[in-house]
Structure 1
Amino acid sequence: MTRTAEKFLALLEIVNRLRAPDGCPWDQKQTPQTFKQYLVEETHELLEAINDDDPSHICEELGDLLFQVIFLNNLYQEKNLFTLFDVIDSISAKMIRRHPHVFGNQTVESEQELHRQWQSIKSQENARKEQPRHTLGSIPKSLPALRRAQRVADRVAREGFDWPNLSGAVGKAGEEFQELREALSSGNREQIQEELGDLLFALAVVARKADIDGEEALHDATNKFTTRFLSLEKRMLDQGKRFADLTPDALLDAWQRNKTEPQSSPEND
């Protein structure tokens, strides 16, 4: 047995011990519904570690996520619904089945052909399960809204429902922005929300057409704003000022000047 296998089995025993009658009271009371929030949190912590490109942090967060997966599996295994063997066997068979160009004798000439092959195999799987093929059925509704929008736009584009070029998508976003302006003028909150949603979706389509990950782009923009805001806040505190003390024009001027000056790292102060 390899050291990795030994460590994996030891982790399984740790989870079993935590769930045992004489184990941890907190772990004993968990259910799939109560535990799923921690799975989401750990996933986001891993994503943040990857964004920071910190190998030791990534290693730690991967361990946390692995524990979450094993623990969640245990909750179902205790009910004799399935085992970890079933989980591993299922994903192994699926990956081999969906990669005939790797594990079989098929060949693919392009990424587009690879996508078509993947979707064709999924359709065959659904047919065997007697499940009707639904173009958007496999996209989780629980995804972050922007990422889900871009996934939906990408999926329907594979079916031919797409703008012929980027300018068409940009033009549609312009139309949606004008409709939002009109809704804002009306003061109708429901209409404003609907038009704002339409604009955000249209921008997700623009991101897809431009081959940009909209979720990452928004994270980058938020991080940039956060850095600039904290830098400006620190400078104002050093001068004994508050944002509320400035007029809108003075605040905008301070913001513009702060953008052109070297940025410190106030998060680390």
Structure 2
Amino acid sequence: MANDDARHVMQAYETVRTMISPGGCAWHEVQTHESLMPFLVEETAEFVDAVERELPASEVRSELGDVLYQVLFHAAIAERDGEGYDLRSVADALNEKLIARHPHVFGDRGYMTVEELHAEWERLKEDAAGEARGSRSPLEGIPAGMPTLARAAKVVERLKRANLIEPTVGAASDLDSDAEDQLGDAMLALVSRANATGIDPDRALRRAVDRLAKLAVESK
């Protein structure tokens, strides 16, 4: 089955390589990593939307295919332009990283619960990279270009795992069945309040996250 899966992926890759080659598709031929960024973001968002709206499996499959297309497109551009990697090397590097970061699956660490993995995750990444324990910042690797709210959630979760901030959200038992709706309404009310006072809510949140990260890391 694995070889058959690989064959199908490589067939799609060959199709993309043909389209970006001279004499293929004029539009594809002139694209770059930078020019494709909006499409990668858009296709990812459409896949997320399909999952969250619980669309039929055929539609979710199609949207996931569009995300895969973007991966193949970038890999093909890199191969064509001699950037030092192609789809095979991307897949090889990914496979090596997954195995190195999951010694509890592929090594001798033994089974670990989700809670244990959360506590161990940064140390697993340090081991995989051959870095000294405690050398990584808890916020290392969080992209500055993430959507602001997603980045805020990521920063808070990382700081909580590193015990640099106290959890401020009630336990699951304290939340009622429509807590997500209530929280969404509260956030929407804050956005409305920001609009009414002429404050950019996105910028306000970015600055708040930066302040939290700075204070938490400095107090370490």
TM-score (norm 2): 0.71
**SS class of match (2:24):** coil
Aligned residue runs from structure 1 range 50-199, under 5 A: 50-53=51-54, 54-80=56-82, 81-128=84-131, 133-163=136-166, 165-166=168-169, 192-193=199-200, 197=204
Distance (whole Å) between structure 2 residues aligned to residue 52 and residue 58 of structure 1? 10
For residue 39 of structure 1, what is the aligned residue in structure 2? 40
| Percent identity (aligned) | 32
For residue 17 of structure 1, what is the aligned residue in structure 2? 18
Bigger RCO (CA 8 Å, 6+ sep): 2
1:66 to 1:140, Cα distance in 2 relative to 1, 3 A: same
1:114 to 1:184, Cα distance in 2 relative to 1, 3 A: closer
Give the counterpart letter for 1:72 in structure 2: H
**Unmatched runs of 5 consecutive residues or more in structure 1:** 168-176, 206-269
1:100 to 1:77, Cα distance in 2 relative to 1, 3 A: same
The aligned length equals: 186
For residue 177 of structure 2, what is the aligned residue in structure 1? none
Rg comparison, structure with higher value: 1
Matched, 1:5 2:6: yes
Offset, 1:162: 2.0
Higher alpha-carbon deviation: 111-120 or 39-48: 111-120
TM-score (norm 1): 0.59
Distance (whole Å) between structure 2 residues aligned to residue 184 and residue 52 of structure 1? 28
Check the 8 A contact 2:105/2:111 in 1, yes or no.
no
Distance (whole Å) between structure 1 residues aligned to residue 200 and residue 72 of structure 2? 41
**SS class of match (2:164):** coil
Offset, 1:137: 2.2
Query: Cα RMSD (Å) of the superposition?
Result: 3.5
Offset, 1:124: 3.0
Structure with the higher fraction of residues in helix conformation: 1
Distance (whole Å) between structure 2 residues aligned to residue 195 and residue 55 of structure 1? 34
**Unmatched runs of 5 consecutive residues or more in structure 2:** 171-188, 213-220
Distance (whole Å) between structure 1 residues aligned to residue 92 and residue 195 of structure 2? 54
